[in-house]
Structure 1
Amino acid sequence: MLNTKKKGLPLDQAKKALIMIHGRGATADSILSLSSHLNLTDYAIVAPQANGNTWYPYGFMASDEGNHASLERSLGFIEEVFSEILDAGILPEQICLVGFSQGACLSLEFAARNARRLGGVAAFTGGLIGEQLNPEKYQGDFLGTPIFIGSSKQDFHVPASRIQESAVLLEKMGAEVTVKLFDDSEHTIRAEEIKLANQKIFI
C-alpha cells in the first residue's frame, strides 16, 4: 500500500494539485515543509513516501540494471498518485510536480515518460535518469509545460552536464525549460530557486 502525506485542500475540493517527491534518505514530511515557501493557494498537495526512504538504490546515472526494478516500482507509485488526482476531477494541466535531488530526478523522469501539458515541474537538483540518456524511453508532447531545474554548477551528485542534456531533451519534447546553475557547491534548495519556481510555475 502506497503511503502518502497530504496538505492543503482535499482533492475533491481543489482545482489544482501538487505532487511533492522527497530525496534519498528524506521523508514526505520533509518535502512538505517546502510547500509553505511556494505560492500554493487553492492546491491539494500530495507527498508519497518511499519505502526505506529511497526511490532507487544507486545513483541516478548508475547502471540501468541496478536501479531498474526499484525505479519502475517508484514510477508506478507516482502514477498511482497522479491517477488519484485525475480521478478527483483535476485536469493534467492543473497538476504540478516538485522534487529535490532523487525526488527531482524522479519528477523529471515521470513527466518525460508521460509527457502532456502539465501545470509545471520544479526539479531542485535533478536530471533525467539513466546511465546514458535514451530518448526512446520518452514519449508525448509537453505542449509548453514550464519546467524549472535549479542546481549547483558543481553538485557532487548531479553533474551540470546531465542537467543541460536533460533540458535539451525536454525542450525537444515541447517543454518551456528554465535552468539556473549556481556557483556554490551546496546540495540544497536555494531561496532564489524557490523564487524562480514561483515565477515560472506557481504564478
Structure 2
Amino acid sequence: MHTKQVIKAGNQTGEATKALVMLHGRGGSAEDILGLAQYLPVNDFALFAPQATNNTWYPYSFLAAPKDNEPWLSGALAVVKELVADIEASGIKPENIYFLGFSQGACLTLEYVTRNAAKYGGAVAFTGGLIGDRIYKENYSGDFAGTPVFIGTSDPDPHVPVDRVLASTQILTDMHAQVTQKIYKNMGHTINQDEINQASELIFKES
C-alpha cells in the first residue's frame, strides 16, 4: 500500500499563502512532476508532490473496474486527502489549494477533487479523466463553486479516450467547476507548451 512520502519544494508552509499538490504519472516520480513547476507561475507557492509506491498509483488502466485497482486506488486517494488535511492544518485555506497531475496523476487529481468538491484555487489535469469502467456519479459530491479547472488531452491518446475526457468535463461542470477543456490533434501522450500557457493563465493567473 501507499505510505505518505511527500517531497516539498517552493515556499514552506507558514510563509506561503498558496499550496500546489502535484501528482506524477505511472512510472514517474515526485521529483519529475515537481520539475514542471519551473514552467508555471507558482514561485510563491508551497509545492507538495507525494510519491506513489513503486511509481504507480494503481496497477491497471484507469478504465478498469475500480475494484480491480483496489486497495491501491483508495490508498492513493487517502494519501491526497491526508496531504490536503496537513496543508489546511498549516493555515492554507481550501480556496488557496491547487492540484495538478499528468496522466495517471491527472486521473487521480480529477477523481480526488470531484469526490471532495469544494471551492479550491484550481485544478489542472494534463491528459486524464474520472476513474472507472464507467463514471460512478454516486462517488461525487460537493460544489466546486466556480473553481477553475483545465483539462488538456490528445486526440487520440493511447491511454485516455477523448469520450471519457468529455464526460468528465461535463460532470465537473454540472458540479459548478469552471472547466476549460482543450483537445489537441495527434499531440501524443505528453504536455505541450499551449497547455502550460493555459494552466498559467487560467489557473495560476492570480499568482
* Bin for the TM-score computed over the shorter chain: over 0.9
- C-alpha contact (below 8 Å) 2:173/2:179 kept by paired residues: yes
Structure 1 distance, partners of 2:139, 2:133, is 13
Name the residue aligned to 1:196: 198
Gaps of 5+ in 1: none
Q: Residues 42-93 of structure 1: CA distance to partner in whole angstroms, max 9, x if unpaired?
A: 1000000000100000000012211131100000000111011000000000
- Matched letter for residue 200 of structure 2: N
Deviation at 1:107?
0.3
Deviation at 1:12?
1.4
Alpha-carbon RMSD: 0.7
Name the residue aligned to 1:143: 145
Q: Which of 166, 174, 181 is the aligned partner of 1:164?
A: 166
Counting matched residue pairs gives 203
Structure 2 distance, partners of 1:161, 1:63, is 17
Which has the higher mean CA deviation after the structures are superposed, 60-69 or 40-49?
60-69
SS of 1:47's partner is strand
Name the residue aligned to 1:178: 180
Q: Which of 7, 10, 17 is the aligned partner of 1:8?
A: 10
Structure 1 distance, partners of 2:186, 2:19, is 32
The correspondence of residues 86-125 of structure 1 with structure 2, limited to 5 A, is 86-125=88-127
TM-score of the superposition, structure 1-length normalised? 0.98
Structure 2 distance, partners of 1:172, 1:151, is 20
Deviation at 1:13?
1.0
Name the residue aligned to 2:71: 69
Which runs of 4 or more aligned residues in structure 1 lie more than 3 Å from their structure 2 counterparts after TM superposition? none
- C-alpha contact (below 8 Å) 2:58/2:73 kept by paired residues: yes
SS of 1:13's partner is coil
Structure 1 distance, partners of 2:97, 2:46, is 9
SS of 1:14's partner is coil
Structure 1 distance, partners of 2:72, 2:118, is 24
TM-score of the superposition, structure 2-length normalised? 0.97
Deviation at 1:185?
4.1
Name the residue aligned to 1:26: 28
- C-alpha contact (below 8 Å) 2:52/2:76 kept by paired residues: yes
Structure 1 distance, partners of 2:204, 2:41, is 5
- Matched letter for residue 193 of structure 2: A
Q: Residues 87-133 of structure 1: CA distance to partner in whole angstroms, max 9, x if unpaired?
A: 00000000000000000000000000000000000000000001100
Gaps of 5+ in 2: none
1:126 and 2:131 equivalent? no
